[in-house]
Structure 1
Amino acid sequence: MIIKYSDNPFKAVIGIAFYNRKSILLFTLISIVAVFQYEFGEIFDFEPATLPVVPVTILGGALAIFLGFRNNSAYDRWWEARKVWGGIVNASRTFGVMICTFSSGYFSNGKVKDKEVFEWRKELIMRHIGWLYALVMHLRKETSWDELEKFLSKKEVEKLKGFHNKPTQMLHKQGERLQEAYESEMIENFRHMELANVIKEFYDLQGKAERIKGTIFPYYYNYFTSVFLWLFITCLPFSLVTEMSWSTIPMCIAISFVFTILEKSGAVTEDPFEGRAADTPITTIARNIEIDLLEMIKSDTIPAPNEQKTGRFGVKYLD
C-alpha cells in the first residue's frame, strides 16, 4: 500500500512521468502530428485534418462515465479486500485468546498434563500463523511453500504440497486437532463449539478473499474503456488545433495524462492481492497478527513489525 510518493516533490513528478513514459510519449506524438499537419498543410499542398469540438466533447463525457463506473467498482474491490483482512485480524486475535484460555488439564481430572496443553496451544497458534502466510501465497499464486517450515513440521509441509488449496487443508487440520483436544478432554463441549465457529469464520473470510481474487472484472468495461480512451486521445488534438495552434500540444498532453492516470488507477486497484506497492498490504497485516499471537503464547522469538519500504523515486509503501 503506497503511503506517499516521495518526500521530494521533484522525485515524485519524475517517478510518475517515468512509469507512464510510454503513454506520455504516444499522445505527445499524436499531438505533434496534429499540429504539424495543420500548420504546414498548405506548404505541402494538402488539406489539414481537423475535427469539430462538440463530438469530441461528447466522447470525453462518455469516457468519463466509463472511467467513473470502473474506478468506483475497482475501489469497492480494494476496500472489500481490506475489510476481509481486517476481519482476519480480529478473528485471529479472538482465536488466539480462546486457544490460550479455553484449553486446560482441568476438564480431564489431571489426565492431560500442563506441558501437553502448552504444546497443543503452541501447535495451533503456529499453524494459524502458517495459514496466514499460506493464504498470502495462495492469493498471489506463489509456488514456493518452504517458508511454512518455520511454522509447521517438515512432514506436514511436504504433505500440504500435494493439495491444490493449501490454506483450506490447514484449516481442516486445525479442526481435526480441536476434535482430538475435545476427545482427550483438554476442552469441553461448549468451548469446542466456540473454537469451531472461529474456524468457520476463517473459512468464510478466506472464501471472500478468493472471490475477489478469482472474479475477473467484466472484460467489456476494460476493453471499451481502453478503446474510448485512445479514441479520445487521438481525436482531441485534431479538434483543438484550429483554436489553439501550437498550444494544442501541452494542453493535449495535460488532458490526455489526466484521463490515462484515471484509467490506470482503476486497472491497478481492481486486483488488490498482486503484491504491488499500491495493493492491500497483506504481508504486513500477516506479520502484525503473527506478533500478537506469539506474544500470547509468550514466545522467545518475536519478529519485528514490517518496516515501511522505500522504492524507486522515493515511493514509500507497505508490502
Structure 2
Amino acid sequence: MNTSSHYKMHHFIPWTRTKIYKMLLLSILPTALFYFLGWNWLAIPWVPVALIGTATAFISGFKNTQTYNRTWEARQIYGSIINCSRTLGIMTKDFVRGDNEKELHKEILYRHFAWLTALRFQLRETKSWENVKTKSYNREYLKYYNVPEWESSLDEELKSFLPENERQYILSTKNRATQILAQQSERLKELNKQGIITDFNYVAFENQLKDLYDQQGKAERIKNFPYPRQFSSINLYFTNVLCFLIPLGFIGELSKHTEKLGDWFIWLAVPMSVLVGWVFLVLEQIGESTENPFEGSANDIPITQISRMIEIDLREMLGEKELPPAVQAQNNILM
C-alpha cells in the first residue's frame, strides 16, 4: 500500500515506460511510412478509432471498477479480522479464569498470532495468474520495498508462538491457518471440560472462531479466484487494437491540414498518439496491478502491518512491556 498522497512521477513514469516505448514505435513507424514513402492508405477516418475507443473506455472502466472492488473487499476482510482479534483478546482475558489464567491467556492469544502469521504467509504465496514476479516493470519496482513473507520462513515465525510439537504438526498440514484455528477450538473445548470456561462463554468463543474462519474463507476466495480471464483478455485485446489504430487516425486527421500548414505537420501524430495511447495502456496496467490484493505488489493490502498491529494490541492486553516494533513503510510502500 502506498502511504503517500500519490505515486511520484519519478516512480510512475519508469514503471510505465514500456507503454511509452510501445506507443512511440506504433506511432513513429506509420508516420514515417506516410511521410517518406507516401503510403497514404495508412490514413484512416477517425470514426472507427472513436468507436473502438469508446468500447475500450467502457471495458477498461469496468475492469478497474471490479479490480478496485476486489482490493476494497480484501481491506474490509482484514478490517473484520482486526475487530474479531480485539474481541477475542478481551474475551480471553474476561472469560478464562483460574489459577494459571495468565499462562492460558498467553497460550490462546499466541496461538491467534500464529494463525495471523500462517494466514499472511498463505496469502502471499505466488499464483500462476499473479504478475508481480512475471512482469518486468513489477519486478523492477520490487527494489523499492521488501515483502517480509518472501524473506523469512513460516517455520521460523511460528517458533515464537507455538510449542514445538504443535508447530511441527501445523507445518505438516496443507492449510496451516485452518488447522491452527482447529487446534484453538480443541484447546478451548478442553478448558470447557475442565470448568475453566463456562458453557455459555465456550459458545461465545466458538462463534468468534467461526467469524475468523469466515474472514479467512473470504480472503482465500479472493486469493484463489482471479479476476475472470475472459474480461481481462478482452480488455487487453481492445486496448492493443485501439493503440494500433490511434496513430493511423491521427495521421488521417492531420493529413487534412498539411497543404495549409506544411508536410511536417503530420509528425504531430507521434506525440498525440503517444499521449492518448499511454492513457489507455496505463489504465490497463493499473487495473492489472490491482487485481490481486495479496500478491506482494506495491498496491497490496498491508497484511503484514495489520497482523503486527493486532499482535501489539493483544500483547498490551496481556500486560507485556517488550513489544515488537510496528511495521514501517519503505519508500512509502507499506506491506
The TM-score normalised by the length of structure 1 is 0.90
- The answer to whether structure 1 residue 16 and structure 2 residue 16 are counterparts is no
Matched, 1:51 2:44: yes
Are residue 317 (structure 1) and residue 333 (structure 2) matched?
A: yes
Q: Does 1:221 align with 2:221?
A: no
Alignment of 1:76-87 (within 5 A): 76-87=69-80
Match of 1:313 in 2: none
Offset at residue 26 of structure 1 (A): 1.3
**What is the aligned partner in structure 1 of residue 175 from structure 2?**
165
Could you tell me whether the CA contact under 8 Å between 2:114 and 2:161 is conserved in 1?
yes
Q: Is 1:28 the equivalent of 2:24?
A: yes
- Which letter maps to 1:73? Q
C-alpha displacement of 1:75: 0.9
Matches within 5 A, 1:244-259: 244=254, 245-259=266-280
1:102 and 2:95 equivalent? yes
User: Given that residues 67 and 263 in structure 1 are in contact (C-alpha distance below 8 angstroms), is that contact kept between their aligned partners in structure 2?
Assistant: yes
SS at match of 2:27: helix
The one of 135, 142, 161 equivalent to 1:151 is 161
Deviation string 1:246-295 (CA, Å, 9 cap, x unpaired) is 11111111111111111111111110001211111111110110000000
**1:74 & 1:193 partners in 2: Cα distance?**
37
Q: Distance in 1 between matches of 2:93 and 2:216?
A: 23
Contact 1:145 1:157 in 2 (8 A): no
8 Å CA contact retained: 1:60, 1:232? yes
The gaps in structure 1 that reach 5 residues or longer are 106-112, 311-315
Shift of residue 5, structure 1, vs aligned partner: 7.1
The yes-or-no answer on 1:186 pairing with 2:196 is yes
Contact 1:37 1:48 in 2 (8 A): no
Distance in 1 (alpha carbons) for counterparts of 2:5 and 2:269: 29
The one-letter code sitting in structure 2 at the alignment partner of 1:85 is Y
Cα distance, 1:48 vs structure 2: 4.5
Aligned-partner Cα distance in 2 for 1:266–1:153 = 43
Alpha-carbon distance, 1:243 to partner: 2.9
Give the Cα separation in 2 of the matches to 1:189 and 1:134. 29
Residue 117 of structure 1 deviates from its aligned partner by 1.6
Sequence identity of aligned pairs in percent?
37
- Cα distance per residue 1:215-256 (max 9 Å; x no partner): 121111111111111110011001101333111111111111
Alignment partner of 2:121 out of 124, 137, 140: 137
**Residue pair 1:74, 1:269 contacting (<8 A) in 2 also:** yes
Runs of 4+ in 1 over 6 A off after TM superposition: none
Of residues 232-241 and 153-162 in structure 1, the stretch that sits farther from structure 2 once superposed is: 153-162
CA distance in 2, matches of 1:277, 1:26: 24
Residues matched between the structures, number: 298
What CA distance in whole angstroms lies between the structure 2 residues aligned with 1:15 and 1:32?
Answer: 26
One-letter amino acid of the structure 1 residue matched with residue 76 of structure 2: K
Any stretches of 5+ residues in structure 2 without a counterpart? 126-148, 255-265
Q: Structure 1 CA distance, aligned partners of 2:4 and 2:234? A: 31
2:212 alignment partner AA: F
- Give the deviation of 1:31 after TM superposition: 0.5
Say whether the 8 Å CA contact 1:294–1:302 is kept in structure 2. Answer: yes
User: Following TM superposition, by how much is the alpha carbon of 1:16 offset from its aligned partner in structure 2, in angstroms?
Assistant: 1.5
C-alpha displacement of 1:192: 0.8
Letter in 1 for 2:65: N
Question: 2:199 is matched by which residue type in structure 1?
Answer: N
- Give the SS at the match of 1:68: helix
Which residue, 69, 86, 102 being the options, matches 2:62?
69
Partner amino acid for 2:35?
Answer: E
Residue 298 of structure 1 is matched in structure 2 by: 319
- Give the SS at the match of 1:151: coil
Residue 292 of structure 2 is matched in structure 1 by: 271
Task: Give the Cα separation in 1 of the matches to 2:40 and 2:22.
Answer: 24
Q: For residue 32 of structure 1, what is the amino acid of its counterpart?
A: I
Q: Does 1:38 align with 2:34?
A: yes
For 2:192, give the aligned amino acid: Y
